[in-house]
Structure 1
Amino acid sequence: MDMPTVSELVRTSDPSDWRPGDAWLAGGTVLFSYGSDSLQRLLDITAAGWEPLSVSDDGLEIAATCTIADLHAFPGTAPAGVRAEWRALDLVQLCCDSFVASFKVWNVSTVGGNICTGLPAGPMTALTAALDGVALIHSPGGTSREIPVAELVIGDGRTALEPGELLRSVTLPAAVLRAGTAFRRQSLTNLGRSGVLLIGRLDEDGGFVLTITAATKRPVQLRFPSLPTAVELRAELSGQIDGELWHDDVHGLPEWRHYMTDRLAEEIRAELAASRSNASGSKEELL
């Protein structure tokens, strides 16, 4: 950690305390590893007392300060009824494992921090965007606003947060949590950062949603009223993702990310189509 200009640590979660030269601090795993030569104060929100995970009829609220360790453990500790009904909780541990990090990092790194860094490969961005998560943002002056996570991350290391704004929580709707899902992730190395991370969702009303992250500079979502054909899916991918949107860094060339996105998207479509057919067959047998 190299932050020679920081002179004060302030424990607060009130955006009105923010001033230019400040940075919000939760787990700090990215902030401390990158360092800074301009920050003057760190505003520590870890003592805010926010409940990490809250279950209600509306869905699951995840506090920005919820650690990856707490989130990873949730599917195993959730009430039996919740676990059975919210099938999409299967994604939680898959996305947490996508950090490819030790338990030391999991016990400190936070859901909100991972989203707010705006990294294309951020697995918490992938999880919450894929499940139509809605971010609650607290702003200076005492106001608040809501924005879909899929629109919160707008580029490589860029978010739609205004100066001083603070991510309070992300809520995953109960209806979406009941959806069937499929997950695909690809990296150039066994323990490397995600180069492609796709999540497919088949909702109760038959709608299909595909969320692309890591391969693109920001989350991209494709929505269909019903499960598309392979040709329809490929055409929509080509139409929605232009050349400038593919991410390019040491974890994968744009051409490779493009190819793998097309390939994994079709795998997801086929998997969800098969699961729907199996479910229909089971119902017919019962009848």
Structure 2
Amino acid sequence: MDLGTVTGFRRATDRTDLGLAPGERVVAGGTWLYSEPQPGTTGLVDLTTLGWPDLEPLPDGGLRVAATCPIARVRALPGSLWPEATDGLLMSFKVQAVATVGGNVCMALPAGAMIGLFTALGATAVIWTPAGGERTCPVEDLVVGPVQTSLDDGEVLRALDVPGSSLVGPVGPDGRRTPVAAVRHAALAARGRSGVLVVGVRTETGTRVSVTGATARPVVLRDGDDPSAIDCWHDDAHGAPDWREAVATRFVGQVRDALTGGAA
């Protein structure tokens, strides 16, 4: 839809362009931003013109995913994890081609499938600070509640770094290691928004299982962690807390079995 309050648009080409005037907001894919009125937004600053590579190898064998990387690009990576996790999103392939990984994470919706995916992978968020510096934090600490992140004013998500220790599967056709993973998701309707998303990854030291969709913030379960300890079950039109808890608990067991060679 048109944003009738917007009177200015800037294309960022370096970090100095990210200083925002009152009323300005950064935009990448813009699929949510343009979906409803944005009162108070008078200008947009485009991040996609910064020229960040969508995907970059890391020295430890891991993978850097730019915040501006289209979700469709992640979906096309070798291995079953990427498309299965991405399909937890209620969006068409056309939207996946425009919507960005960083946008999905920073929206911080419980149903944000990129949150569950990169939390399970143990990814680190790389954040640019207004003073020209950089800080990092685990993705599970970046999203702190529904539509709430730990980003301070003026901070911009630069990338998500997946460690090599989470990519322990076979080498794919692109020469990268693939994750050993399992995914389960459920919704109240056949094509409804995910009310539960459980993503598990085998790492060099054990397993990591993320629970999102069902919870107000991402929860990471490591070997031996009991899902009964989760205390932030979400309640909205896409599922009651007791249903979410029951389904998520069952899915956690299934994912762990799949990762350790038990009955999936």
Instruction: Normalising by structure 2, report the TM-score.
Output: 0.89
Q: Letter of the aligned partner of 1:135 in structure 2? A: A
Matches within 5 A, 1:231-250: 236-239=226-229, 241-242=230-231, 245-250=232-237
Q: Secondary structure at the match of 2:238?
A: coil
**Cα pair 1:212 1:220 within 8 Å, conserved:** yes
Which of 245, 259, 263 pairs up with 1:272?
A: 259
Structure 2 CA distance, aligned partners of 1:90 and 1:150?
22
Matches within 5 A, 1:223-234: 223-224=222-223, 228=224
Matches within 5 A, 1:141-156: 141-156=131-146
Shifted more, 141-150 versus 179-188: the winner is 179-188
Matches within 5 A, 1:1-287: 1=1, 3-12=3-12, 14=15, 16-58=18-60, 59-75=62-78, 89-178=79-168, 180-205=180-205, 207-224=206-223, 228=224, 236-239=226-229, 241-242=230-231, 245-274=232-261
What is the deviation of 1:2?
5.0
Matched pairs, number: 250
**Cα pair 2:166 2:202 within 8 Å, conserved:** no
Gaps of 5+ in 1: 76-88, 278-287
Identity, in percent, stands at 42
**Cα pair 1:18 1:140 within 8 Å, conserved:** no
Larger helix share, 1 or 2: 1
Structure 1 CA distance, aligned partners of 2:167 and 2:210?
15
Structure 2 CA distance, aligned partners of 1:132 and 1:200?
10
What is the deviation of 1:204?
2.7
**Cα pair 1:153 1:160 within 8 Å, conserved:** yes
Structure 2 CA distance, aligned partners of 1:185 and 1:258?
13
**Cα pair 1:134 1:149 within 8 Å, conserved:** yes
The aligned residue for residue 172 of structure 2 is none
**Cα pair 1:2 1:36 within 8 Å, conserved:** no
Gaps of 5+ in 2: 169-178
Q: Letter of the aligned partner of 1:193 in structure 2? A: R
What is the deviation of 1:183?
1.1
**How large is the Cα RMSD of the aligned pairs?**
1.7
Runs of 4+ off more than 4 Å: none
Cα distance 1:105–1:195, how it changes in 2: closer, same or farther (>3 A)?
A: same
Instruction: Normalising by structure 1, report the TM-score.
Output: 0.82
**Cα pair 2:207 2:259 within 8 Å, conserved:** no
